[in-house]
Amino acid sequence: MDHIEHKLTNCEIIFFNNLSAYIDTYMYFYGSICRGDYLQGYSDIDVAIFTDNENSTITKIITFLSLHKSEVKKIIYSADNTNKSHVLIKGYKLMYKNPEKRLVVEISVYNNKYKEYVLYENARKIELPIYIICILCILKILYYRLNIISEKTYKQYKRNILNVVIKNNNMFLVI
């Protein structure tokens, strides 16, 4: 968390430290929190967790966050690996929102066997050209602050921009 701590509020730092201690697992931050297009109080914070027992970890997370098991979604996607071949990655996603603290967290849980592949994919979306960061910032301002584009449009443009820049051919399914 050291590399992103300066972007988090004290409340967020405490939240992530407490969650990490509760589930007894390290959390990997990825997405805009690791780039220049993160907007404090607007952007969600993406976290990946790797474990040998996904069900146990998810149970701990939903208990800690007071969520319901139905809020956990299964995901499957095909991703590139370092050898440029594809691997089928299975995992789980859940969203946690705390409007009072302006905190939105997207938590992904994967088996340790996918760690290398997921970290590789996430790293590909961190070091982006400055013009792409600027475009993403403008897009976020249009959506979050000015409310002149829909959530669907925002997500579609963001996904398309990232996919073109990193030449991403991955298929992503939420089950």
Delimit the domains of the chain by residue range: 5-127
- Paired with 142 in beta bridges are none
pLDDT band, very low/low/confident/very high, at 112 (cuts 50, 70, 90)? very high
Radius of gyration from C-alpha coordinates of the chain: 16
CA atoms in the 13 A half-sphere facing the CB of 38: 22
Fold of 5-127: Beta Polymerase; domain 2 (3.30.460)
Q: For position 3, what pLDDT does the model report? A: 74
Is 90 exceeded by the pLDDT of residue 41? Answer: no
Whether 15 and 103 have beta carbons less than 8 Å apart is answered as yes
Report the pLDDT value the prediction gives residue 16, as an integer from 0 to 100. Answer: 96
Query: What pLDDT does 107 receive?
Result: 98
pLDDT for position 170:
54
Q: Which of 140, 162, 134 is nearest to 153 (CA)?
A: 140
Residue 128 has pLDDT above 60, yes or no: yes
Q: For residue 152, what pLDDT is reported?
A: 96
Q: What is the pLDDT of residue 136?
A: 96
Question: Residue 144 burial by CB count (10 A; 0-12/13-18/19+): exposed, middle or buried?
Answer: middle
Tokens of 160: 């398309």
Q: Is the pTM of this model over 0.85?
A: yes
Q: Please give the backbone phi and psi of residue 148, each rounded to the nearest 5 degrees, phi first.
A: -105, 0
Average pLDDT value for the chain: 90
Q: Is the pLDDT of residue 90 over 70?
A: yes
